[in-house]
Amino acid sequence: MTFETDDRARVTLVPHPFGLRICGEIDRGNRHLLAGALAWALLAGSHDIRLDLSGLTFIDVSGMRLIVVAAARLSADRTLVLDPISPAVRRILALTGWEQAPGLHVCP
């Protein structure tokens, strides 16, 4: 089921394990798609949230910040899991140092 889409990005609900698959490019022009999907996921489940970012070809720092802030908003018994992730995401995480952000788990 596609959660939200535009001409450059697609956010799809993944029921098991609970989370979202994000493909394409996330930047200033469409980060509202990511923000809306993350807000929904924070409220919709009580388990960890898994983000499949393997199809993400580009994400700017503000888009990555949305993910980090969402992870920080989770209760202590929940985690935002990034698995799998694309090289573009891995690079942004390395440049910002956000691999160790509270509530975030980055799979190798």
- Domains of the chain listed by start with CATH number: 2-106 (3.30.750.24)
Q: For the chain, which ranges sit under pLDDT 50?
A: none
pLDDT for res 5: 76
Phi–psi pair at 21, nearest 5 degrees: -110, 125
Q: C-alpha angle 89/32/17, rounded to 5°?
A: 55
For position 7, what pLDDT does the model report? 87
pLDDT at 11: 94
- What pLDDT does residue 6 have? 80
The pLDDT value given to residue 21: 97
What average pLDDT does the structure give for the chain? 94
Q: Which residues pair with 14 in a beta bridge?
A: 19
SS3 string of the chain?
A: CEEEECCCEEEEEECCCCEEEEEEEECCCCHHHHHHHHHHHHHHCCCCEEEEECCEEEECHHHHHHHHHHHHHCCCCCCEEEEEECHHHHHHHHHHCHHHCCCEEECC
Per-residue pLDDT tens digits for 9-36: 999 999 999 999 999 999 999 999 999 9
Share of the chain above pLDDT 90, in %: 90
- Is the pTM above the cut of 0.85? yes
Confidence (pLDDT) at 1: 62
**Which is nearest to 50 in space by CA: 12, 23, 79?**
79
